[in-house]
A and B are shown apart, each in its own frame.
Chain A
Amino acid sequence: MSALEARLTIAVGGADGFSVEADLAHDRGVLVLFGPSGSGKSLTLQALAGLIRPQRGFVRVGGETLFDSDRRIDVPTHRRRLGYVPQHHSLFPFCSVARNVSFGLPRRERRDDHPRVKRLLEELGLAHLAGARPASLSGGERQRVALARALAVEPRLVLLDEPFSSIDGEGRGALREAVRATLDRHGTPAVFVTHDAEEAIALGDRMVRYRRGATAETGDPSAMLPMAARLSLCAERVRVVTDSAAHDGEIEIALDNARLRGPATVLPGAGAAPVRLHLRRAGDQKGGGEGR
């Protein structure tokens, strides 16, 4: 029984509108819908969520049919039990962070100190913001709250629609890792829409590429995307593991599933400026990427 199976024809805007053909299958982890803006990724996501009605096709989640045009099944959004994290306007502005997270719980359990709410806030590093209003949060904090809120109702599948697109580069890497770790911990499969290759590689277990309004190919994101994105990701994921005081430490680099570890020298005076890393394999010379 797979987490998600869908084959959809979605048409919007009438005769001279736009149509999308999507064919998706997903088991566990994160499925990335990848393609340029306007290729139909978000429409697919909205159709999965039940926010728009496809012309034809079916959606099955965890074995249950949520939509089937032939059998005239169309489960309304509020009964689909799918988490949804939109690009913008994701938080309810009129209530606190904790209230946002507990929003979807049944009335009796809807408390700020509900164990699941507290745990999610802690996992996503938001515990100190429980009483804060959404307007006072940074973009990254807002999207963490939006994810916590989606997971609080224990959905069968989480749908994320370019959730990091309005967040600057600095915070994106950390946010990605936090989101990925939280999804892994809860074991909730996710569908993640992005047009960013780095993001696709960092988050995706599988990837579906959109081309001219249709899903074209499926595979491993790091095998499907160009080398440039993989290198810059490599740089972003560089972490100094030990000892910075002596300027001599050990460095760990993660690229895809591979990890490199070895002695490293940090040159004095670099400060917060970008640092060029030279990776050298024992015996021969190999260049590296750039990082901060």
Chain B
Amino acid sequence: MTAPDSFPVLLSLRVAAVALAVVAPIGIAVAWFQARRDYRGRTLVDAAVLLPLVLPPSVIGYFLVLLCGRRGPIGAWLLEWFDIRLIFTPAAAVIASAVVALPMLVKTAQPAIESVPADLEAVGRSLGLGPAAVFFRVTLPAAWRGVVAGLVLGFARAIGEFGATLMFAGNIPNRTNTMPLEIFAAYQAGDDDRALAYVVMLVGISCVVVMLATRLNPREVSA
């Protein structure tokens, strides 16, 4: 039996935090675009954003390897031009986590942005705010509860990512062994105590996250 190690804990937190930093601007932009723009193919994008939520993580992992593996179009390009190899690195774990966090963020932030009254944005524009200022000074502050709830849920989803991470980042000790991977490895090795320690930590983090998200439940904009 081996005692639980702090590396997977710190790695998991780091991977989830970086994944969130990557996915936050993209997810908020997508949520805004879907909430405020009417264009052909809008429902298609809505469905595409939802896909990582319903697809088995192994399928996501498979696609990631296909795209970003050494022979994949993105992977080969990165290797040739920048000498960067993604697969089996912590960066791969970040990408896998970001992909599964995206739908959580978009699907929580989008209704919050949709519920910001158009009149409020119109007033902002009449006061001299350009499109970017309207977004940052009116829309985002008015929808912040939903957006933060989306970020919190995205973080929870990112830190719990298992299947896609295993396929794309592998389970390399002291490199890509995040907590969910460690739980599986410890359980397979019959080291139930070590598995339990990580399980308790992940359950604790998830409980905090769910409580936060519930408290942030968007309220009606009343003024």
Binding site for B on A (CB under 8 A): 46, 49-51, 76-95, 103-104, 134-135, 137, 142, 146, 149-150, 153, 155, 159
Assess whether A83 is in contact with B126, with CB atoms less than 8 Å apart. Answer: yes
Q: How many A-B pairs fall under 8 Å by CB?
A: 80
Give Cα A146 to B123, complex, Å.
Answer: 9
Assess whether B125 is in contact with A89, with CB atoms less than 8 Å apart. Answer: no
Assess whether B222 is in contact with A104, with CB atoms less than 8 Å apart. Answer: no
Q: Does B127 contact A (CB under 8 A)?
A: yes
Q: Number of B residues contacting the other chain (C-beta, 8 Å)?
A: 22
Give Cα A150 to B134, complex, Å.
Answer: 16
B144, closest chain A residue (CB): A94
Assess whether B223 is in contact with A93, with CB atoms less than 8 Å apart. Answer: yes
Cross-chain contact of A92 among B120, B122, B126, B128 (Cβ < 8 A): B120
A79, closest chain B residue (CB): B128
Chain A residues with CB below 8 A from B134, complex form: 78
With known contacts A89-B221, A92-B223, A78–B129 Cβ distance under 8 A: yes
Q: Does B100 contact A (CB under 8 A)?
A: no
Give Cα A92 to B223, complex, Å.
Answer: 7
Binding site for A on B (CB under 8 A): 117, 119-120, 122-130, 133-134, 137-138, 141-142, 144, 221-223
A-B CB proximity, top 3 nearest: A104-B127, A134-B223, A84-B126
Cross-chain contact of A135 among B125, B142, B223 (Cβ < 8 A): B223
Chain A residues with CB below 8 A from B221, complex form: 89, 93
Assess whether B127 is in contact with A103, with CB atoms less than 8 Å apart. Answer: yes
Cross-chain contact of B128 among A78, A85, A87, A89 (Cβ < 8 A): A78
Give chain A nearest CB distance to B216 CB in angstroms.
14
Assess whether A49 is in contact with B142, with CB atoms less than 8 Å apart. Answer: no
Chain A residues with CB below 8 A from B123, complex form: 84-86, 90, 92, 146, 149
A133, closest chain B residue (CB): B223
With known contacts A89-B119, A90-B119, A142–B223 Cβ distance under 8 A: yes
Assess whether B119 is in contact with A86, with CB atoms less than 8 Å apart. Answer: yes
A87, closest chain B residue (CB): B119
Assess whether B223 is in contact with A90, with CB atoms less than 8 Å apart. Answer: yes
Assess whether A89 is in contact with B127, with CB atoms less than 8 Å apart. Answer: no
Q: Which DSSP category, helix, strand, loop or mixed, fits chain A's interface?
A: loop
Chain B residues with CB below 8 A from A46, complex form: 122
With known contacts A92-B120, A94-B141, A78–B223 Cβ distance under 8 A: no
Give Cα A150 to B120, complex, Å.
Answer: 13
Give Cα A92 to B128, complex, Å.
Answer: 15
Give Cα A82 to B125, complex, Å.
Answer: 10
B123, closest chain A residue (CB): A84
Chain A residues with CB below 8 A from B142, complex form: 92-94
Chain B residues with CB below 8 A from A91, complex form: 223
Chain B residues with CB below 8 A from A149, complex form: 123, 127
Assess whether B127 is in contact with A153, with CB atoms less than 8 Å apart. Answer: yes
Assess whether A84 is in contact with B128, with CB atoms less than 8 Å apart. Answer: no
Give Cα A51 to B119, complex, Å.
Answer: 10
* Residue of B119, B133, B137, B222 with most partner-chain A CB within 10 A: B119
Chain B residues with CB below 8 A from A142, complex form: 223
Give chain B nearest CB distance to A189 CB in angstroms.
15
Give chain A nearest CB distance to B190 CB in angstroms.
54
Assess whether B130 is in contact with A84, with CB atoms less than 8 Å apart. Answer: no
A81-B128, A84-B123, A149-B127 given; 11 more Cβ-contact pairs under 8 Å: A76-B125, A76-B130, A77-B122, A89-B117, A90-B119, A90-B120, A94-B144, A104-B127, A135-B222, A153-B128, A155-B126
* Residue of B125, B126, B130 with most partner-chain A CB within 10 A: B126
Chain A residues with CB below 8 A from B129, complex form: 78, 104
Assess whether A49 is in contact with B223, with CB atoms less than 8 Å apart. Answer: no
Assess whether B128 is in contact with A104, with CB atoms less than 8 Å apart. Answer: yes
B116, closest chain A residue (CB): A89
Give chain B nearest CB distance to A146 CB in angstroms.
8
Assess whether A88 is in contact with B126, with CB atoms less than 8 Å apart. Answer: no
Assess whether A88 is in contact with B127, with CB atoms less than 8 Å apart. Answer: no
With known contacts A88-B119, A92-B142, A77–B126 Cβ distance under 8 A: yes
Give Cα A77 to B130, complex, Å.
Answer: 8
Assess whether A49 is in contact with B122, with CB atoms less than 8 Å apart. Answer: yes
Assess whether B130 is in contact with A78, with CB atoms less than 8 Å apart. Answer: yes
Give Cα A241 to B223, complex, Å.
Answer: 36
